[in-house]
Amino acid sequence: MLNLIRNEWLKLWSKKATWVMLVITALLMIGLGGIFKWIQSQTDQVDDWKQSSQAQITSLEEQLAIPNLSDDELKSFEDALLIEKYRLDHNIAPISSESVKGFINEIPGILSIITLFTVVVAAGIVASEFSQGTIKMLLTRPVKRWKILTSKLITVGIFAIVMSAVLLLFGVITGYIFFDQIPGRSLEVVNGNVVDVSFWGRLLLLIGLSLINVFVIGTLAFMIGSVFRSSSLAIGISIFLMFMGVNIVLILSRFEFVKYILFANTNLTQYIGNNQPMIEGLTMPFSIAVISVYVLVFLVISYWSFIRRDVAA
């Protein structure tokens, strides 16, 4: 199995497109850092966090006065109010968007570019064998088909992790090059008490949870590519669902069944901190269970198609 994975990895990086994706990832972070810094340089306004915090307290108190708030909304507003009052009482500034940490904090939100690249790789890693006519040569080797498919799936996963690490590395480097180290801390409410949040621990947790979304969409593209043997079809459908899935969920949010839709559950970062879930009543264990069922279905279809069907080129 290790040799199969090694061969798939070497084949992947023998393609110019893979190196182009790597370069784009690095340049994206450097470019975003430069753009953010330039935008900040055009603004002369000094950020007074205490004034902003007081304004936030006033806004939250007004929102809490709104009748018929849901339990999730009520808890979210109450926790946010508790944090803002704690900041003022203890003179704890939030992490500034103009600081190193402020820029690095944006990295989990930029992982969508890694999702896009993973879709491209996952969609083509099986389909390209058919389109290029190399599938016969691949299957003449004395190796079971499920092992061949597993090695390709693992290669896709490793690719997503490596690209995420590259994004993080260049994001951190860019942050320290373009931005200043302004004091600031993240806070959250745990069991009714305001506590400090480990910056690097929380960052890695958010990236790890965001990677789950990358893997899920990648598995979907992998399945479509394996079944239809068309990388363009797999890329098109997966990218469409990646961008439209959340919008579809929001449109259907008033219906009870919406919580069983995959895209209502893939963003596990919505459960971290004092955020409010996209759909009321959703919990992380429930979302993990839903994701697991979908991924299992994707994998069963992928393996059945590759192993049982005629795969002659």
Residue 190 bridge partners (DSSP): 193
70 lies in some domain = no
Residue 313 has pLDDT above 50, yes or no: no
Task: Name the domain count of the chain.
Answer: 1
Q: Which two tokens stand for residue 194?
A: 């305001």
Residue 216 within any structural domain of the chain: yes
Handedness of CA 31, 33, 37, 40 (dihedral sign): positive
Q: Between 2-13 and 112-131, two packed helices, what is the crossing angle to 10 degrees? A: 100
3-class secondary-structure state, position 69: coil
Q: Is residue 82 part of a domain?
A: no
Backbone angles phi, psi at 140, to 5 degrees: -75, -15
97 pLDDT exceeds 70? yes
Q: In whole angstroms, give the CA distance from residue 114 to residue 111.
A: 5
Confidence of residue 247 (pLDDT cuts 50, 70, 90): confident
Residue 19 inside a domain? The answer is: yes
* Cross-strand pairs, 188: 195
Chain centre to alpha carbon of residue 5? 24
Per-residue tokens: 231: 């990388």
pLDDT tens, 14-27? Answer: 989 999 999 999 99
Please state, in angstroms and rounded to a whole number, the distance separating the CA atoms of residues 40 and 103.
12
Q: Classify residue 232: in a domain, yes or no.
A: yes
Query: Out of 37-41, 80-84, 97-101, which region has the weakest mean confidence (pLDDT)?
Result: 37-41
Average pLDDT, the chain: 86
Q: pTM for the whole thing?
A: 0.86
Residue 88 lies in a domain: no
Q: Does residue 242 form part of some domain?
A: yes
- Of 129-133, 206-210, 252-256, 265-269, the range with the lowest mean pLDDT is 129-133
The whole-number pLDDT of residue 160 equals: 94
Identity of the amino acid at 116: L
For 36-63, write each residue's pLDDT tens digit: 888 877 775 656 788 888 888 888 888 8
